[in-house]
Amino acid sequence: MSLATLLVLADGRLPAGGHAHSGGLETAVSSGRVRDLAGLSGFLHGRLATSGRVAAAFAAAACARTAEWPVWDAGLDARTPSPALRRASRAQGRALLRAGRAMWPVAAVGREPHHPVALGAVAAAAGLDPAAAAVAAAHGTVTGPASAAVRLLGLDPYAVHALLARLAPECDRIAADAASRTAAPVDDLPAAGAPLLDIGAEQHATWEVRLFAS
Amino acid sequence: MHAEQPGHDHEHGPDEVPHTHPDPGVDPHAPLTTGPRALRIGIGGPVGSGKTALVAALCRTLGAELRLAVVTNDIYTTEDADFLLRNGVLPADRIRAVETGCCPHTAIRDDISANLDAVEDLEASLGPLDLVLVESGGDNLTATFSKGLIDRQIFVVDVAGGDKVPRKGGPGVTTADLLVINKTDLAPLVGADLTVMDRDATARRGALPTVFLSLVEDPAAAPVADWVRALVTARVAAAGASG
């Protein structure tokens, strides 16, 4: 497996639409739940342990068994009660497929799959293994909101990256766990929920003035 | 060195900075595509220069003769799309708003996926179109569109932003396919010298066209509408010749 290929896929500059999404951080900032670096740290730990864990498991599964993508896609729908978050995930899945198809021959996984399904399919097409797909998924669930925090709160970018560096071992653990479950049926995959992210996403979708798409 | 460049028949003052365009007067673009999709024109420029008002004027002028749709890129939610809807220049199903996550230039240049999705969704829902206008969020003098998103781009500056803006240059002023110097009716009020702006724009842009516009005096935006119309006509003719 090519580590450089994984870096291409996980690069924040990949034109896959992520820059317009805050991963729920905009609502958390607006409601006062995240105001500073400590608040961001708590937010990212929580997001990694819930959305990140689910995304990693499904990216790994979709990488290992891409042809079964409708099962993974339905499994993510079942784990995403917020319609706004479903839309955000599918919009980012579509954007990632566009970028992925320009680089590798990606298998057909529908026009607008959930983001982890697209990530698994693109990773498989790139010759990456399920653990790599999972680590890209886990890493992406924290780097997106971290970048949004730099823009929304004006946090010190060095301090934010120090936070991301401290989260990296946890991303690796979650990815290893995800890669160990690729033979499991969909109902046995993680289903950790974050109700405040779901509620916040629904509120965010109704705002008249917002900076991020989600 | 200025005198050695082709197309330079004007004098420069001692306080003027040298040209920055690598090839003044040379069109850096590939020929217009002739495929089944619509001609895509990007409209960019600083905040408040009149991009949305120009889009509204173009919709009113061209909406009856061309199959037209608009994608807006707002820094905040759907303000510009709402302006177009309130002004009734296009039906709601012909306008899409893209949200840009605090980075309007990223959405039109570095990561164009949301804009491409919006253009494709418009073509999928409306059928074949002649023209899609993609309006950027208000940004700065360095913001330009990716050629992966649009075929041609218009950069809009206004005289109230200062008559030194064309001289300052930047990719928008120097490389846009059409530079629009807007709000000329305000020139006497803000002490802007249009001849200076014209001379500096020519120095920056070589043979690339520049037009002066006042939507107060010309609500149809005639010179810009003519430029757009000629592009659509040329593209249709090329498609007919190749097909």
Give the residue from chain A lying closest to B117, CA to CA: A95
Name the token pair of B2.
Answer: 């200025």
pLDDT at A186: 98
Whole-number percent of chain A with pLDDT over 90: 97
CB contact under 8 A, B77 and A208: yes
Pick from A4, A1, A6, A5: which is nearest to A137 by CA? A6
Give the residue from chain A lying closest to B82, CA to CA: A208
pLDDT at B3: 41
Please name every residue paired with B46 in a beta bridge, in sequence order, or none if there are none. Answer: B139
Name the token pair of B138.
Answer: 């208000």
pLDDT at B2: 43
CB contact under 8 A, A20 and B100: yes
B63/B134 Cα distance (integer angstroms): 15
Cα-Cα-Cα-Cα dihedral sign, residues B58, B60, B65, B71:
positive
Pick from B210, B207, B224, B212: which is nearest to B21 by CA? B207
Closest Cα in chain A, distance from residue B118 (Å): 11
Name the token pair of B171.
Answer: 């990719």
CB contact under 8 A, B114 and A94: no
CB contact under 8 A, A212 and B102: yes
pLDDT for B12 beyond 70: no
Three-class SS state of B108: helix
Give the residue from chain A lying closest to B137, CA to CA: A211
**Contacts with A173 (C-beta within 8 Å, 6 or more apart), sequence order:** none
- Work out whether strand B178-182 and strand B95-99 pair parallel, antiparallel, or are unpaired: unpaired
Closest CB to A20 among B76, B101, B116:
B101
Residue B45 identity: G
pLDDT at B5: 46
Supply the DSSP string of A132-183, one letter for each residue. HHHHHHHHHHHHHHHHHHHHHH---HHHHHHHHHHHHHHHHHHHHHHHTTTT
Domains observed in chain B: 37-232 (3.40.50.300)
Residue of B83 and A68 predicted with greater confidence: A68
Angle value at C-alpha B83, between B81 and B88, nearest 5 degrees: 100
Closest Cα in chain A, distance from residue B78 (Å): 8
CB contact under 8 A, B99 and A213: yes
A162/A185 Cα distance (integer angstroms): 37
pLDDT at B10: 53
C-beta of residue A211 within 8 angstroms of C-beta of residue B75: yes
B179-224 pLDDT, tens digit each = 999 999 999 999 999 999 999 999 999 999 999 999 999 999 999 9
Closest Cα in chain A, distance from residue B80 (Å): 12
Residue B108's pLDDT band, with cuts at 50, 70 and 90, is very high
B34/B69 Cα distance (integer angstroms): 18
Residue to substitute from A211, A212, A214, interface B, most B β-carbons within 10 A: A211
| Distances, alpha carbon A63 to alpha carbons A38, A60, A178, in Å | 34, 5, 11
C-beta of residue B74 within 8 angstroms of C-beta of residue B80: yes
Residue B1 identity: M
pLDDT at B237: 81
pLDDT at B31: 67
Give the residue from chain B lying closest to A204, CA to CA: B77
Closest CB to B76 among A20, A148, A210:
A210
Identify all chain B residues contacting A209, using CB atoms and an 8 Å cutoff: 76-77
Between the ranges A178-187, B69-78, B233-242, where is the mean pLDDT highest? A178-187
pLDDT at B1: 38
**Contacts with B74 (C-beta within 8 Å, 6 or more apart), sequence order:** B80, B81, B97, B98, B99, B100, B137
Closest CB to B102 among A17, A94, A211:
A211
Hey, how many other C-beta atoms are within 10 angstroms of the C-beta on B206? 18
pLDDT for B125 beyond 60: yes
Hey, how many other C-beta atoms are within 10 angstroms of the C-beta on A184? 12
CB contact under 8 A, A213 and B101: yes
CB pairs under 8 A between A and B: 65
B192/B86 Cα distance (integer angstroms): 32
C-beta of residue A60 within 8 angstroms of C-beta of residue A133: yes
pLDDT for B235 beyond 70: yes
pLDDT at B6: 46
Q: How far apart are the first and last CA of chain A?
A: 33
pLDDT at B138: 83
pLDDT at B83: 80
